[in-house]
Amino acid sequence: MPPVPAFLYGTAWKEDRTAALTELALRTGFRAIDTANQRRHYFEAGVGQALAAAYRAGVVPRADLFLQTKFTYQRGQDHRLPYDPAETLAVQVAQSLSSSLEHLATDYVDSFVLHGPSSGYDWTEADVEVWEAMRKERDAGRTRMLGVSNVQLPHLEQLAATETELPAFVQNRCFARLGWDREIRKFCSERKIVYQGFSLLTANPEAMQHPPLINLAASLNATPAQVVFSFARAVGMLPLTGTSSAEHMKQDLGSLDLTLPPEVVRAIESMAG
């Protein structure tokens, strides 16, 4: 199995442009794709079209890709549900993943993520049922790994207290003012969970406009976005970008070649919280 690539290309909010932009991302060099079976924000079948086009053109084979999708509770969906809401949650999980595998024309994904717990704070009985159903899917080989998203520390602590297995990934919106999600990142790093950070640019306008960060970027001949992505990687995150711009795709991947001195990493980590 290939290792997890160092950057995830996110496919949310692209609607009719999903296929073209995802194909462009693959052609530009992204090898990991994040989607969700949540038609309200993602067009997963469009991701599948991009994959098919990339395979046909010989850009990349399936085996060299990391594909991640999500199960979303009904309250996070609109009317276009990928499962029968009258079924149990366990069946909904199986139906959602079957539909994802069909959209992506594959017989396994690399990561299957619970899009968000059922309650804002607690790991509920519903989450326990969903997590067990997700583990069954992993055991059946329909996903290699499992993840959870949009979690607070109590969710993770309560999940851990159920003595089930922990996720391989936590995917969260990463706010600089919360020390770049310091508490959750600490929980993750202590347990070898990979932290995936999204909205690194959009959630942090204060960081992006921070004069020392702007000056640092200029001195490195890099953009502030590249510095943020490089910083993210330096503190152990797996960053996501959902850029729609060909230029930004190249710049984002270019951040992989940027190495920040440790004192700079420490300064950015503590700049806003």
Ligand X SMILES: NC(=O)c1ccc[n+]([C@@H]2O[C@H](COP(=O)([O-])OP(=O)(O)OC[C@H]3O[C@@H](n4cnc5c(N)ncnc54)[C@H](OP(=O)(O)O)[C@@H]3O)[C@@H](O)[C@H]2O)c1
Q: Per the structure block, which two tokens stand in for 234?
A: 């330096």
Does position 44 interact with ligand X (CB under 6 A)? The reply is no
Give me the least distance between CB of 25 and ligand X, in Å please: 10
Q: What is the spatial distance between Cα 234 and Cα 56, in angstroms, rounded to a whole number?
A: 35
Tell me the closest approach of the beta carbon of residue 254 to ligand X, in angstroms.
Answer: 9
By CB under 6 A, tell whether 198 contacts ligand X. Answer: yes
Tell me the longest C-alpha to C-alpha distance in the chain.
58
Is position 230 an interface residue for ligand X (rule: CB under 6 A)? no
Distances (CA, A) of 64 to 18, 51, 54: 20, 12, 12
Residue pair 239/229 in contact (Cβ under 8 Å)? The answer is yes
CB 197 within 8 A of CB 175: no
Which segment (81-89, 100-108, 133-141, 247-255) binds ligand X by CB under 6 A? 247-255
Residue 83: how many other CB atoms lie within 10 Å: 21
Q: Which is nearer to ligand X, 151 or 234 (CB)?
A: 151
Task: State in angstroms the smallest separation of the CB of 204 from ligand X.
Answer: 10
Contact flags string 164-193 toward ligand X, x per CB under 6 A: -------x----------------------
Binding of ligand X by 243 (CB under 6 A)? yes
Helices (H), 152-223: 153-161, 182-190, 205-208, 211-219
Q: Smallest distance from the beta carbon of 126 to ligand X, in angstroms?
A: 18
Please give the size of the binding site for ligand X, defined by CB under 6 A: 23
Q: What is 228-263 written as a DSSP string?
A: HHHHHHHTTEEEEE----HHHHHHHHHGGG----HH
Per CB under 6 A, 242 contacts ligand X: yes
Q: Which of 74, 88, 202, 209 binds ligand X (CB under 6 A)?
A: 202
Residues near ligand X, by CB under 6 A: 10-12, 34, 115, 149-150, 171, 198-199, 201-202, 223, 225, 240-245, 248, 251-252
